[in-house]
């Protein structure tokens, strides 16, 4: 029936109208999100950068966490197709992300007075539990060092 498809098209166009904020803000105790109705992988896109950011669903969010510090993690898994280290602010907004492939143990360490983003990246399915490199990255410069395990 033609008018059915017209209404569907109109509804779809309304859903995709530009919204007031550029970032999708984090949810709070969203049941829809918890049951997967916001998607099995709640990620957000941006217009100015071809990156993907998380959309957290906070179960608890007190001001005790609003400390201006940064959460660093490395999303991966069967449904994450562009894994890499990621940094979020204390409201869950993306701050930095770069795709490095399967990434483990992303953290920030100080080395000789400079802060570096450190992580392991590689293939975690081979040679037992994987083969890869440890990275120390300072986003202002090229990667400082990549260290491979010694064969002894």
The answer to whether the CB of 79 falls within 8 A of the CB of 48 is: no
Q: Is 38 in the site for another protein (CB under 8 A)?
A: yes
The answer to whether the CB of 29 falls within 8 A of the CB of 58 is: yes
Shortest separation between residue 85's beta carbon and another protein, angstroms: 10
Q: Is 126 in the site for another protein (CB under 8 A)?
A: no
Shortest separation between residue 109's beta carbon and another protein, angstroms: 9
Shortest separation between residue 123's beta carbon and another protein, angstroms: 15
x-or-dash string of contact with another protein, 95-114, rule CB under 8 A: xxxx----xxxxxx------
The answer to whether the CB of 85 falls within 8 A of the CB of 94 is: no
CB atoms within 10 A of CB 2: 6
């Amino acid at each position: 029936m033609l008018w059915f498809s017209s209404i569907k098209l109109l509804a779809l166009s309304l859903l995709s109208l530009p919204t007031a904020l550029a970032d999708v803000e984090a949810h709070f105790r969203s049941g829809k999100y918890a049951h997967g109705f916001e998607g099995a992988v709640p990620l957000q896109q941006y217009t100015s950068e071809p990156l993907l950011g998380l959309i957290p669903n906070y179960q608890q969010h007190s001001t005790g966490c609003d400390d201006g510090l940064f959460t660093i993690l490395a999303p991966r898994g069967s449904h994450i197709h562009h894994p890499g280290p990621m940094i979020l602010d204390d409201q869950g907004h993306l701050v930095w992300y770069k795709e490095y492939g399967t990434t483990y143990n992303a953290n920030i360490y100080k080395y000789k007075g400079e802060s570096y983003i450190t992580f392991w990246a590689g293939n975690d399915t081979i040679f037992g539990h994987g083969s890869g490199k440890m990275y120390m990255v300072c986003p202002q410069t090229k990667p400082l060092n990549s260290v491979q395990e010694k064969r002894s």
